[in-house]
Amino acid sequence: MPPPPLFSPPPLRLRHAAAFALVLAAAFALFFLAFSPSTTTSSPPSYGHRLPTLVDLTLVHGAKEKGAVCLDGTPPGYHWMPGFGDGSDKWLLHLEGGSWCRNLTWCDQRKRTSLGSSAYMERAEFVGILSDDQSQNPDFYNWNKVKIRYCDGASFSGNVEEEEQHGTRFFFRGQRIWEAIMTELLPKGLARAKQAFLTGCSAGGLSTYIHCDEFRALLPKDSTVKCLADGGFFLDVEDISGRRYMRGFYNDVARLQHLRKRFPGCSSDMEPGQCFFPQQVAKSITTPMFILNPAYDVWQSMYCLLTDLTLKIYGKIAEWILPSVIRNSLKFYKSMKSLAWHSPSASRINNKTIAEAVGDWFFDRREVKDIDCEYPCNPTCYNVVLEQPYPEE
Protein backbone atom coordinates (compact mmCIF):
# COMPACT_ATOMS: atom_id res chain seq x y z
CA MET A 1 0.00 0.00 0.00
CA PRO A 2 1.47 3.38 -0.93
CA PRO A 3 2.04 5.88 1.88
CA PRO A 4 -0.74 8.40 2.49
CA PRO A 5 -0.30 11.77 0.78
CA LEU A 6 1.26 14.55 2.80
CA PHE A 7 -1.83 16.67 2.10
CA SER A 8 -5.22 16.25 0.49
CA PRO A 9 -6.25 18.44 -2.43
CA PRO A 10 -8.77 21.12 -1.42
CA PRO A 11 -12.41 20.74 -2.45
CA LEU A 12 -13.19 21.83 -5.99
CA ARG A 13 -15.09 24.96 -4.87
CA LEU A 14 -12.05 26.11 -2.87
CA ARG A 15 -9.78 25.56 -5.84
CA HIS A 16 -12.13 27.64 -7.96
CA ALA A 17 -12.16 30.37 -5.32
CA ALA A 18 -8.36 30.37 -5.20
CA ALA A 19 -8.15 30.57 -8.98
CA PHE A 20 -10.62 33.47 -8.98
CA ALA A 21 -8.57 35.27 -6.33
CA LEU A 22 -5.47 34.91 -8.52
CA VAL A 23 -7.38 36.34 -11.46
CA LEU A 24 -8.43 39.34 -9.36
CA ALA A 25 -4.89 39.87 -8.12
CA ALA A 26 -3.56 39.75 -11.66
CA ALA A 27 -6.23 42.14 -12.88
CA PHE A 28 -5.45 44.70 -10.19
CA ALA A 29 -1.73 44.34 -10.81
CA LEU A 30 -2.20 45.03 -14.50
CA PHE A 31 -4.42 48.02 -13.72
CA PHE A 32 -1.95 49.67 -11.39
CA LEU A 33 0.98 48.95 -13.68
CA ALA A 34 -0.91 50.47 -16.60
CA PHE A 35 -1.82 53.66 -14.75
CA SER A 36 1.03 54.11 -12.29
CA PRO A 37 2.87 57.43 -12.15
CA SER A 38 5.76 55.86 -14.04
CA THR A 39 3.69 56.24 -17.22
CA THR A 40 3.49 59.99 -16.81
CA THR A 41 5.90 62.29 -18.56
CA SER A 42 5.91 65.31 -16.29
CA SER A 43 5.09 66.57 -12.82
CA PRO A 44 2.50 69.22 -12.01
CA PRO A 45 4.05 72.65 -11.59
CA SER A 46 3.87 74.29 -8.20
CA TYR A 47 2.19 77.64 -7.76
CA GLY A 48 1.17 79.89 -4.95
CA HIS A 49 -2.30 81.00 -3.89
CA ARG A 50 -3.95 82.12 -0.67
CA LEU A 51 -5.23 79.64 1.85
CA PRO A 52 -8.86 78.53 1.47
CA THR A 53 -11.56 80.26 3.49
CA LEU A 54 -12.86 78.30 6.49
CA VAL A 55 -16.64 78.50 6.94
CA ASP A 56 -18.42 77.74 10.21
CA LEU A 57 -21.04 75.03 10.58
CA THR A 58 -24.69 76.05 10.94
CA LEU A 59 -27.06 73.52 12.51
CA VAL A 60 -30.59 73.44 11.11
CA HIS A 61 -33.01 75.21 13.42
CA GLY A 62 -35.88 73.05 14.66
CA ALA A 63 -34.58 69.98 12.87
CA LYS A 64 -35.33 67.56 15.70
CA GLU A 65 -38.95 68.71 15.91
CA LYS A 66 -39.28 67.95 12.18
CA GLY A 67 -37.54 64.59 12.51
CA ALA A 68 -34.94 65.86 10.04
CA VAL A 69 -31.90 64.40 11.76
CA CYS A 70 -28.66 62.54 11.07
CA LEU A 71 -28.27 58.80 11.60
CA ASP A 72 -27.62 59.32 15.32
CA GLY A 73 -30.43 61.84 15.89
CA THR A 74 -28.31 65.00 15.90
CA PRO A 75 -29.46 67.96 13.78
CA PRO A 76 -27.99 68.22 10.27
CA GLY A 77 -25.78 71.10 9.23
CA TYR A 78 -24.50 73.24 6.40
CA HIS A 79 -21.88 75.92 5.76
CA TRP A 80 -22.98 79.19 4.14
CA MET A 81 -20.69 81.82 2.64
CA PRO A 82 -22.81 84.85 1.70
CA GLY A 83 -22.40 86.28 -1.78
CA PHE A 84 -21.17 89.76 -2.57
CA GLY A 85 -21.21 92.27 -5.40
CA ASP A 86 -23.14 91.09 -8.43
CA GLY A 87 -23.17 87.57 -6.93
CA SER A 88 -25.38 88.51 -3.97
CA ASP A 89 -28.53 87.25 -5.71
CA LYS A 90 -26.95 84.09 -7.10
CA TRP A 91 -26.70 80.78 -5.23
CA LEU A 92 -24.56 77.65 -5.55
CA LEU A 93 -25.37 74.66 -3.36
CA HIS A 94 -23.05 71.69 -3.02
CA LEU A 95 -24.20 68.30 -1.70
CA GLU A 96 -21.41 66.50 0.14
CA GLY A 97 -20.52 62.92 -0.82
CA GLY A 98 -19.31 60.00 1.24
CA SER A 99 -20.56 56.61 0.00
CA TRP A 100 -23.58 54.93 1.65
CA CYS A 101 -24.29 52.49 4.49
CA ARG A 102 -25.76 49.22 3.34
CA ASN A 103 -26.51 47.62 6.70
CA LEU A 104 -26.91 48.50 10.38
CA THR A 105 -23.27 47.71 11.16
CA TRP A 106 -22.04 50.17 8.54
CA CYS A 107 -24.58 52.79 9.63
CA ASP A 108 -23.57 52.35 13.26
CA GLN A 109 -19.95 53.01 12.31
CA ARG A 110 -20.98 56.16 10.47
CA LYS A 111 -22.78 57.44 13.59
CA ARG A 112 -19.33 57.96 15.09
CA THR A 113 -18.16 60.13 12.19
CA SER A 114 -19.29 63.31 10.45
CA LEU A 115 -21.06 61.11 7.88
CA GLY A 116 -23.60 60.12 10.51
CA SER A 117 -23.50 62.78 13.21
CA SER A 118 -23.15 66.55 13.29
CA ALA A 119 -21.30 66.14 16.60
CA TYR A 120 -18.21 65.35 14.50
CA MET A 121 -18.63 68.10 11.91
CA GLU A 122 -16.13 70.95 11.89
CA ARG A 123 -15.52 74.09 9.87
CA ALA A 124 -15.24 73.45 6.13
CA GLU A 125 -12.63 74.61 3.64
CA PHE A 126 -14.27 76.24 0.65
CA VAL A 127 -12.17 75.18 -2.34
CA GLY A 128 -12.76 74.38 -5.99
CA ILE A 129 -16.26 75.31 -7.07
CA LEU A 130 -16.89 76.74 -3.56
CA SER A 131 -13.83 78.97 -3.51
CA ASP A 132 -14.20 82.75 -3.07
CA ASP A 133 -10.89 83.32 -4.86
CA GLN A 134 -11.57 84.67 -8.35
CA SER A 135 -8.32 83.20 -9.68
CA GLN A 136 -9.44 79.71 -8.63
CA ASN A 137 -13.17 80.02 -9.29
CA PRO A 138 -13.69 82.72 -11.93
CA ASP A 139 -17.43 82.29 -12.56
CA PHE A 140 -18.85 81.56 -9.10
CA TYR A 141 -16.38 83.11 -6.63
CA ASN A 142 -18.76 85.84 -5.38
CA TRP A 143 -21.98 83.81 -5.29
CA ASN A 144 -23.76 82.69 -2.15
CA LYS A 145 -22.25 79.25 -1.64
CA VAL A 146 -23.57 76.50 0.62
CA LYS A 147 -21.98 73.17 1.44
CA ILE A 148 -24.67 70.78 2.69
CA ARG A 149 -23.27 68.10 4.97
CA TYR A 150 -24.14 64.46 4.33
CA CYS A 151 -25.15 62.41 7.37
CA ASP A 152 -28.04 60.11 6.40
CA GLY A 153 -26.22 57.33 4.50
CA ALA A 154 -28.52 57.26 1.44
CA SER A 155 -27.91 60.38 -0.66
CA PHE A 156 -30.56 62.51 1.07
CA SER A 157 -33.36 60.16 0.03
CA GLY A 158 -34.58 58.07 2.99
CA ASN A 159 -37.68 58.84 5.03
CA VAL A 160 -38.28 55.99 7.49
CA GLU A 161 -40.60 56.80 10.38
CA GLU A 162 -39.46 53.93 12.61
CA GLU A 163 -36.46 54.66 14.82
CA GLU A 164 -35.77 51.31 16.50
CA GLN A 165 -33.74 48.79 14.50
CA HIS A 166 -32.96 45.62 16.47
CA GLY A 167 -32.84 47.52 19.74
CA THR A 168 -30.73 50.41 18.44
CA ARG A 169 -31.95 53.81 17.29
CA PHE A 170 -31.23 54.80 13.70
CA PHE A 171 -32.72 57.74 11.83
CA PHE A 172 -33.02 57.29 8.08
CA ARG A 173 -34.26 60.79 7.28
CA GLY A 174 -32.26 62.11 4.33
CA GLN A 175 -35.31 63.42 2.45
CA ARG A 176 -36.42 65.36 5.52
CA ILE A 177 -32.90 66.78 5.90
CA TRP A 178 -33.00 68.04 2.31
CA GLU A 179 -36.41 69.64 2.85
CA ALA A 180 -35.44 71.22 6.20
CA ILE A 181 -32.28 72.79 4.78
CA MET A 182 -34.13 74.14 1.75
CA THR A 183 -36.79 75.59 4.07
CA GLU A 184 -34.07 77.36 6.06
CA LEU A 185 -32.17 78.70 3.04
CA LEU A 186 -35.14 80.03 1.08
CA PRO A 187 -35.83 83.03 3.37
CA LYS A 188 -32.10 83.77 3.54
CA GLY A 189 -32.26 84.77 -0.12
CA LEU A 190 -32.43 81.50 -2.06
CA ALA A 191 -36.11 82.13 -2.85
CA ARG A 192 -35.11 85.32 -4.72
CA ALA A 193 -32.17 83.84 -6.61
CA LYS A 194 -31.81 85.03 -10.18
CA GLN A 195 -29.39 82.20 -10.91
CA ALA A 196 -28.97 78.96 -8.94
CA PHE A 197 -26.73 75.94 -9.34
CA LEU A 198 -27.16 72.63 -7.48
CA THR A 199 -23.96 70.56 -7.45
CA GLY A 200 -22.61 67.47 -5.73
CA CYS A 201 -19.71 65.02 -5.77
CA SER A 202 -19.80 61.22 -5.64
CA ALA A 203 -22.73 60.16 -3.43
CA GLY A 204 -23.59 63.85 -3.46
CA GLY A 205 -23.54 63.67 -7.25
CA LEU A 206 -26.20 60.97 -7.05
CA SER A 207 -28.11 63.26 -4.67
CA THR A 208 -27.97 65.94 -7.34
CA TYR A 209 -29.70 63.65 -9.84
CA ILE A 210 -32.34 62.81 -7.22
CA HIS A 211 -33.11 66.39 -6.16
CA CYS A 212 -32.41 68.45 -9.29
CA ASP A 213 -36.02 68.91 -10.35
CA GLU A 214 -37.15 69.47 -6.74
CA PHE A 215 -34.58 72.26 -6.50
CA ARG A 216 -35.86 73.84 -9.71
CA ALA A 217 -39.45 73.76 -8.37
CA LEU A 218 -38.48 75.79 -5.28
CA LEU A 219 -37.20 78.78 -7.22
CA PRO A 220 -38.78 81.56 -9.33
CA LYS A 221 -39.86 80.47 -12.79
CA ASP A 222 -37.86 83.27 -14.42
CA SER A 223 -34.60 82.32 -12.66
CA THR A 224 -31.86 80.28 -14.33
CA VAL A 225 -31.51 76.95 -12.52
CA LYS A 226 -29.13 74.16 -13.48
CA CYS A 227 -27.44 71.14 -11.88
CA LEU A 228 -23.99 69.52 -11.93
CA ALA A 229 -23.31 65.91 -10.93
CA ASP A 230 -19.58 65.28 -10.42
CA GLY A 231 -18.47 61.64 -10.26
CA GLY A 232 -22.01 60.54 -9.40
CA PHE A 233 -22.73 58.27 -12.36
CA PHE A 234 -22.37 54.80 -10.84
CA LEU A 235 -22.76 51.97 -13.30
CA ASP A 236 -25.01 48.93 -13.12
CA VAL A 237 -22.59 46.47 -14.74
CA GLU A 238 -21.33 42.96 -14.07
CA ASP A 239 -17.93 42.52 -12.43
CA ILE A 240 -15.46 39.88 -13.61
CA SER A 241 -17.12 37.25 -11.41
CA GLY A 242 -20.42 37.80 -13.20
CA ARG A 243 -22.01 39.61 -10.25
CA ARG A 244 -23.37 43.15 -10.12
CA TYR A 245 -21.57 44.59 -7.13
CA MET A 246 -23.16 48.04 -7.22
CA ARG A 247 -26.66 46.66 -7.72
CA GLY A 248 -26.25 44.40 -4.71
CA PHE A 249 -24.89 47.33 -2.72
CA TYR A 250 -27.76 49.59 -3.74
CA ASN A 251 -30.31 46.82 -3.07
CA ASP A 252 -29.12 46.73 0.55
CA VAL A 253 -29.28 50.53 0.88
CA ALA A 254 -32.73 50.68 -0.75
CA ARG A 255 -34.20 47.95 1.46
CA LEU A 256 -32.69 49.37 4.63
CA GLN A 257 -34.05 52.88 3.99
CA HIS A 258 -37.27 51.91 2.16
CA LEU A 259 -36.25 53.78 -0.96
CA ARG A 260 -38.58 52.16 -3.49
CA LYS A 261 -41.39 54.46 -2.36
CA ARG A 262 -39.06 57.43 -2.95
CA PHE A 263 -39.04 56.59 -6.68
CA PRO A 264 -42.68 56.04 -7.71
CA GLY A 265 -41.69 55.71 -11.36
CA CYS A 266 -39.63 52.63 -10.60
CA SER A 267 -41.08 49.55 -12.27
CA SER A 268 -42.36 46.79 -9.99
CA ASP A 269 -40.32 44.20 -11.88
CA MET A 270 -37.06 46.00 -11.05
CA GLU A 271 -34.91 45.27 -8.03
CA PRO A 272 -35.13 48.11 -5.48
CA GLY A 273 -31.49 49.06 -5.97
CA GLN A 274 -31.99 49.57 -9.69
CA CYS A 275 -34.24 52.56 -8.94
CA PHE A 276 -31.25 54.23 -7.22
CA PHE A 277 -28.97 54.26 -10.26
CA PRO A 278 -28.48 57.59 -12.08
CA GLN A 279 -29.40 56.08 -15.43
CA GLN A 280 -32.87 55.41 -13.97
CA VAL A 281 -33.26 58.61 -11.96
CA ALA A 282 -32.06 60.81 -14.83
CA LYS A 283 -34.73 59.58 -17.23
CA SER A 284 -37.29 61.91 -15.67
CA ILE A 285 -35.07 64.98 -15.10
CA THR A 286 -36.18 68.06 -17.02
CA THR A 287 -33.81 70.64 -15.47
CA PRO A 288 -30.54 71.18 -17.40
CA MET A 289 -27.90 68.81 -16.00
CA PHE A 290 -24.14 68.78 -16.53
CA ILE A 291 -22.52 65.35 -16.13
CA LEU A 292 -18.88 65.43 -15.06
CA ASN A 293 -17.46 61.93 -14.88
CA PRO A 294 -14.03 60.31 -15.18
CA ALA A 295 -13.31 57.83 -17.93
CA TYR A 296 -11.19 55.84 -15.46
CA ASP A 297 -13.03 56.04 -12.15
CA VAL A 298 -10.66 54.63 -9.53
CA TRP A 299 -13.38 53.84 -6.98
CA GLN A 300 -15.59 52.02 -9.47
CA SER A 301 -12.59 50.24 -10.96
CA MET A 302 -11.66 48.98 -7.50
CA TYR A 303 -15.14 47.89 -6.49
CA CYS A 304 -16.59 46.90 -9.86
CA LEU A 305 -13.39 44.96 -10.63
CA LEU A 306 -12.25 46.64 -13.83
CA THR A 307 -14.97 45.31 -16.07
CA ASP A 308 -16.75 47.52 -18.60
CA LEU A 309 -15.27 50.65 -17.03
CA THR A 310 -13.89 51.79 -20.32
CA LEU A 311 -14.18 54.79 -22.57
CA LYS A 312 -16.75 52.86 -24.55
CA ILE A 313 -19.13 52.63 -21.59
CA TYR A 314 -18.62 56.20 -20.42
CA GLY A 315 -18.99 57.46 -23.95
CA LYS A 316 -22.51 56.05 -23.92
CA ILE A 317 -23.51 58.25 -20.97
CA ALA A 318 -23.88 61.21 -23.31
CA GLU A 319 -26.06 59.20 -25.67
CA TRP A 320 -28.23 57.68 -22.96
CA ILE A 321 -29.13 60.76 -21.01
CA LEU A 322 -28.20 64.38 -21.54
CA PRO A 323 -26.35 66.46 -24.12
CA SER A 324 -23.91 68.31 -21.86
CA VAL A 325 -21.07 66.09 -20.74
CA ILE A 326 -17.42 66.46 -19.87
CA ARG A 327 -15.46 63.30 -19.36
CA ASN A 328 -11.90 63.30 -18.11
CA SER A 329 -9.46 60.67 -16.92
CA LEU A 330 -8.54 59.08 -13.63
CA LYS A 331 -9.63 61.50 -10.92
CA PHE A 332 -12.75 60.44 -8.98
CA TYR A 333 -14.18 63.94 -8.65
CA LYS A 334 -12.82 67.33 -9.65
CA SER A 335 -15.14 70.18 -8.73
CA MET A 336 -14.05 70.16 -5.07
CA LYS A 337 -10.30 69.98 -5.71
CA SER A 338 -8.40 73.25 -6.14
CA LEU A 339 -5.73 71.75 -8.38
CA ALA A 340 -8.23 69.88 -10.53
CA TRP A 341 -10.93 72.58 -10.79
CA HIS A 342 -8.97 75.56 -12.10
CA SER A 343 -5.24 75.99 -11.67
CA PRO A 344 -2.10 76.11 -13.80
CA SER A 345 -1.68 72.38 -13.19
CA ALA A 346 -5.31 71.37 -13.79
CA SER A 347 -5.96 68.87 -16.55
CA ARG A 348 -7.59 70.28 -19.65
CA ILE A 349 -9.75 69.15 -22.53
CA ASN A 350 -9.64 71.30 -25.67
CA ASN A 351 -7.45 73.69 -23.66
CA LYS A 352 -10.25 74.25 -21.12
CA THR A 353 -10.13 73.50 -17.40
CA ILE A 354 -13.14 71.88 -15.75
CA ALA A 355 -14.09 75.26 -14.28
CA GLU A 356 -13.99 76.95 -17.67
CA ALA A 357 -16.03 74.22 -19.33
CA VAL A 358 -18.68 74.25 -16.59
CA GLY A 359 -18.86 78.04 -16.71
CA ASP A 360 -19.18 78.04 -20.51
CA TRP A 361 -22.10 75.62 -20.18
CA PHE A 362 -23.90 77.35 -17.31
CA PHE A 363 -23.77 80.77 -18.95
CA ASP A 364 -24.44 79.44 -22.46
CA ARG A 365 -21.14 80.75 -23.82
CA ARG A 366 -20.77 77.65 -25.98
CA GLU A 367 -22.12 74.13 -26.38
CA VAL A 368 -20.14 71.82 -24.12
CA LYS A 369 -19.74 68.13 -24.89
CA ASP A 370 -16.09 67.48 -24.15
CA ILE A 371 -14.81 63.91 -24.15
CA ASP A 372 -11.13 63.27 -23.55
CA CYS A 373 -8.95 60.91 -25.56
CA GLU A 374 -7.67 57.67 -24.04
CA TYR A 375 -5.15 57.99 -21.25
CA PRO A 376 -2.24 58.79 -21.45
CA CYS A 377 -2.68 60.78 -24.67
CA ASN A 378 -3.60 64.02 -22.86
CA PRO A 379 -0.32 65.43 -21.46
CA THR A 380 -2.20 67.50 -18.85
CA CYS A 381 -3.45 64.37 -17.07
CA TYR A 382 -0.48 63.80 -14.82
CA ASN A 383 -1.41 64.56 -11.21
CA VAL A 384 -2.47 61.07 -10.11
CA VAL A 385 -0.78 58.85 -7.53
CA LEU A 386 -2.50 55.49 -7.61
CA GLU A 387 -0.11 53.58 -5.38
CA GLN A 388 -1.34 55.60 -2.41
CA PRO A 389 -4.30 54.05 -0.52
CA TYR A 390 -7.53 55.18 -2.12
CA PRO A 391 -10.45 55.77 0.26
CA GLU A 392 -13.97 54.64 -0.54
CA GLU A 393 -14.79 58.35 -0.84
H or E stretch at 15:
helix 12-34
On the 0-12 / 13-18 / 19+ scale of CB atoms within 10 A, 79 is buried
Q: Which residues pair with 95 in a beta bridge?
A: 148, 200
In whole angstroms, what separates CA 137 from the centre of its chain? Answer: 20
Q: Which CATH number fits domain 53-363: 3.90.550, 1.10.1060, 3.40.50, 1.10.1740?
A: 3.40.50
* pTM, entire model: 0.81
Alpha helices in the chain (DSSP H): 12-34, 63-66, 104-110, 174-185, 203-218, 245-256, 278-281, 298-303, 311-320, 338-341, 354-362
Question: Helix 203-218 to helix 174-185 angle, to the nearest 10 degrees?
Answer: 50
- Positive or negative CA dihedral for 79, 154, 323, 379? positive
Asked if 186 and 215 touch (Cβ cutoff 8 Å), the reply is no
Per-residue pLDDT of the chain (393 residues; tens, 9 = 90+): 444 443 334 444 433 333 333 333 333 333 333 333 333 333 444 445 688 999 999 999 999 999 999 999 999 999 999 999 999 999 999 999 999 999 999 999 999 999 999 999 999 999 999 999 999 999 999 999 999 999 999 999 999 999 988 889 999 999 999 999 999 999 999 999 999 999 999 999 999 999 999 999 999 999 999 999 998 888 888 877 788 989 999 999 999 999 998 987 788 899 999 999 998 998 899 999 999 887 666 666 666 544 444 444 444 443 444 344 444 433 444 566 667 788 887 888 888 988 999 999 999 999 888 877 776 788 887 644 444 443 444
